[in-house]
Amino acid sequence: MTPATLMTLDLLAAVVTAAAWLGSGVAAASRRPRAALAVLGVAILASLTRVGVVVALSGAGWWFVQEKVVVALPLLLVTGVTATVVAVPRLTRAADPQPSVVVALLAAGYAAVGGLAGTLLLGYPATLGSALAITAAVAGATLLTWRIVAGPGRSPRIAIAVTAIAGVAGVGLAFVPPPTMDDGRDQSLTAAMGYHGGGARLAVAGQEPGRPVTSFRGPDSPSPGGVVRRYSLTARTATVTLSSGQKVAAWTFDGKVPGPPITANVGDLIEVRLRNADIASGVTLHWHGYDVPAGEDGVPGLTQEAVMPGQEFVYRFLADRQGTYWYHTHEVSSLGVKMGLYGTLLVGPPPAGVDLALPVHTFAGRTVVGDRDQPLDRQAAPGTPVRLRLINTDDTPHRFTLSGTPYRLSSVDGTDLNGPGELGRVGLRLPAGGRYDLTFTMPADRMVVLRTDDRTTSVRLSPGSSAGAPEEDTAGWPDLDLLRYGTAAPAPISGSSRFDRDFTLVLDRGLALSGGRPMYAYTVGGHAFPSIPTEMVSSGDLVRLTVVNRSRDIHPWHLHGHRVLVLSRDGRSPSGSPLWLDTFDVRPGEVWQVAFRATNPGLWMNHCHNLVHADEGMALHLAYEGVTTPFHGAHGG
């Protein structure tokens, strides 16, 4: 069974356990000893099942079970055994259950509910504070029950006082900001122990010596042989008409969605003047997947201030790497990108033949590819080389299928794969933010059809008028596993490399302070932005990230400024082409290890590219020693 299945089973078992203990207690309270005994049997079975599931789940890693092993199961064990010992002999005598039986059964129920709440609300890592708070809540509920069932005279004052103190201390501890830690070297260890250092504030220029992030800028001139590619983009609200005629209110660059394509060849200098006409919340440009100098990275509050209405900012960077990329605003990006502030960035030389950039976006509930919400029909003479560049600009994955011809997935996130074999009848799952380049030679007798999520026909390429469209049900096609595609080749980093820094990111949901407010946040290591410890690196470090998803959502993980090499997923290294990615989907229960060499000094975001998740806490910084920001540094984007 996969960890995701076990996580679901554990939740189910926890719910049944809680319901059964409570049910047994209620039956006892309503003087139905036989029913109480029967439900008690279910409760014991469910509790044992939960223990079994947790043991199985622990095989997937400590982070999946920590709060269960440390808090939930001990509580359940103590109260469950007590309840069994107290209740079974008395209930089998079938006399009217005494108050002690009722209280013992309900206490086990409260403990089971507390454990469930720990998993759902507090998550990983359980701390002394959260353990105290849960225990106190269970004890408090038990005392209250005692008082109600046995009468007021018998409630022990001392127990009430101790419970209250524990509860207050627990809640206090749980919300105390983590201690400052500016070196991430031992973070994985401390995180695994449940003591999470953090809250490292980025050094602010003027307070400490260092080099401001704003000083890492692109060059003034192109490489020899290159030219300057000048663009000017104006962000403004506009009503956009989709190809079907449907009008949508959008936030645009130059009145268009997607914004104007930015293209260049390797060696060129890209210069983009961004103006903001009327986007009231402000706007920036982030070059997704393009490892620009930090000062050009477009993260408001970190590398620049947001460009407000009437203001402008000029970005300048060298086109030093070929491939398919995109740009988008990083200010209030969960709303801004959704509303249309994005476009494509293609670095060539452009290939011969048909070359289509296809950013896929959900707009007003419709799948929009490029600027069309209807299929794009194109003629392509037989034998023409074709490149389809799929770009997922949404928050969730899209599944693509291509029918009518064998093809290759030549490039992922702008990097060519090694020895990509021919594909057919497979689904391609593209993470939010990611890019796939599909290449093939136009066949003579058939149409080639690209579908999005099996529902939408996005592109139809026809070699001539007589060719029919392939009628295929693509929904049943299996998904391609990227980690097994292509041919293995030596890579500069491997799992046995000596890493200078090792960071573990445990992705979850839970109660946390996000932007100063307590909320049900998307968390990393139990904290939400900006309280997640900054990952500190030095120039030249070899850095490994272990990204663990113990939530029930998919998290497309994205590091700015660096491509990462995939070392393993769930402990297995890729058997196909080396995979350099800038965005990878960490699905529920998965553990990814990726690595990179820290060669792009600056301050960088490291976040979930489901931008709603990022906005609700799932974002942190990766900082190079000695780099400072003159801005407040607290913007997640």
Window 310-329: residues binding ligand C2O (CB under 6 A)? 328
Dist. CA 91–CA 407, nearest whole Å = 69
Q: Which does 288 bind (CB under 5 to 8 A by kind): ligand C2O, Cu ion, none?
A: ligand C2O
Q: Does residue 560 interact with ligand C2O by CB under 6 A?
A: yes
Least Å distance, CB 557 to ligand C2O, is: 11
In eight-state DSSP terms, residue 476 is G
Residue entry with tokens 């001990």? 74
628 within 8 A of 322, measured Cβ to Cβ: no
Least Å distance, CB 502 to ligand C2O, is: 23
Window 593-612: residues binding ligand C2O (CB under 6 A)? 605, 607, 609
Q: Which is nearer to ligand C2O, 67 or 616 (CB)?
A: 616
289 within 8 A of 413, measured Cβ to Cβ: yes
Buried/exposed 324-338: b ≥16 CB within 10 Å, e otherwise: bbbbbbbbbbbebbb
Q: Which does 613 bind (CB under 5 to 8 A by kind): Cu ion, ligand C2O, none?
A: Cu ion
Dist. CA 82–CA 20, nearest whole Å = 16
Which of the ranges 122-130, 269-277, 595-603, 613-621 carries the binding residues for Cu ion, by CB under 5 A? 613-621
Q: Does residue 621 interact with ligand C2O by CB under 6 A?
A: no
Q: Which does 90 bind (CB under 5 to 8 A by kind): Cu ion, ligand C2O, none?
A: none
Least Å distance, CB 607 to ligand C2O, is: 6
Q: Which is nearer to ligand C2O, 14 or 586 (CB)?
A: 586
Type of residue found at 456: T
Report which secondary-structure segment, H or E, holds 175. helix 157-175
343 within 8 A of 261, measured Cβ to Cβ: yes
Type of residue found at 395: D
Radius of gyration of the chain from its Cα atoms, rounded to whole angstroms: 28
Least Å distance, CB 616 to ligand C2O, is: 15
Q: Which does 50 bind (CB under 5 to 8 A by kind): Cu ion, ligand C2O, none?
A: none
Q: Does residue 125 interact with ligand C2O by CB under 6 A?
A: no
Least Å distance, CB 529 to ligand C2O, is: 12
124, burial (CB in 10 Å: exposed 0-12, middle 13-18, buried 19+): buried
Dist. CA 236–CA 256, nearest whole Å = 9
Q: Which does 104 bind (CB under 5 to 8 A by kind): ligand C2O, Cu ion, none?
A: none
Least Å distance, CB 390 to Cu ion, is: 21
Q: Does residue 551 interact with Cu ion by CB under 5 A?
A: no
Least Å distance, CB 431 to ligand C2O, is: 11
Least Å distance, CB 560 to ligand C2O, is: 6
Q: Which does 555 bind (CB under 5 to 8 A by kind): Cu ion, ligand C2O, none?
A: Cu ion
* DSSP state string for 424-435: -S-BEEEPTT-E
Q: Which is nearer to Cu ion, 343 or 433 (CB)?
A: 433
Sign for the pseudo-dihedral over CA of 221, 224, 227, 233: negative
Binding mask 269-298 toward ligand C2O (x if CB under 6 A, else -) reads -----------------x-x----------
CB-nearest residue to ligand C2O = 288
Nearest Cα neighbor of 366 from 244, 459, 217, 506 is 244
Distance spanning both ends of the chain, measured CA to CA:
37
Of the candidates 50, 387, 501, 558, which one interacts with ligand C2O according to CB under 6 A?
558
Least Å distance, CB 259 to ligand C2O, is: 14
Helix axes 157-175, 128-150, angle to 10 degrees: 150
Type of residue found at 85: V
Q: Does residue 637 interact with ligand C2O by CB under 6 A?
A: yes
Helical H runs in 282-383?
333-339
Q: Which is nearer to Cu ion, 398 or 555 (CB)?
A: 555
Residue 142 CA: distances (Å) to CA of 13, 138, 332: 22, 6, 46
Least Å distance, CB 253 to ligand C2O, is: 15
Q: Does residue 583 interact with Cu ion by CB under 5 A?
A: no
Residues near Cu ion (CB under 5 A), total: 4
Least Å distance, CB 124 to Cu ion, is: 15
Q: Does residue 610 interact with Cu ion by CB under 5 A?
A: yes
Of the candidates 275, 389, 460, 613, which one interacts with Cu ion according to CB under 5 A?
613
Three-state secondary-structure class, residue 154: helix
Q: Does residue 330 interact with ligand C2O by CB under 6 A?
A: yes
Residues near ligand C2O (CB under 6 A), total: 11
Q: Does residue 433 interact with ligand C2O by CB under 6 A?
A: yes
Residue 257 CA: distances (Å) to CA of 216, 507, 580: 30, 32, 29
Of the candidates 389, 555, 607, 621, which one interacts with Cu ion according to CB under 5 A?
555
Which of the ranges 46-54, 149-157, 334-342, 602-610 carries the binding residues for Cu ion, by CB under 5 A? 602-610
Structure tokens at 532: 């997640």
The backbone region for 100, taken as left when phi is positive above 0, alpha when psi lies in -120 to 50, beta otherwise, is: alpha
Helix axes 33-58, 99-117, angle to 10 degrees: 30
Report which secondary-structure segment, H or E, holds 74. helix 73-92
Which of the ranges 5-13, 31-39, 525-533, 611-619 carries the binding residues for Cu ion, by CB under 5 A? 611-619
Dist. CA 185–CA 310, nearest whole Å = 44
Residue entry with tokens 């997704």? 288
Dist. CA 236–CA 251, nearest whole Å = 6
Least Å distance, CB 8 to Cu ion, is: 18
Three-state secondary-structure class, residue 609: coil
Binding mask 185-224 toward ligand C2O (x if CB under 6 A, else -) reads ----------------------------------------
Q: Which does 608 bind (CB under 5 to 8 A by kind): Cu ion, ligand C2O, none?
A: Cu ion
Three-state secondary-structure class, residue 378: strand
Q: Which is nearer to ligand C2O, 20 or 608 (CB)?
A: 608
Question: Residues in the site for Cu ion, rule: CB under 5 A?
Answer: 555, 608, 610, 613
* Site residues, ligand C2O (CB under 6 A): 286, 288, 328, 330, 433, 558, 560, 605, 607, 609, 637
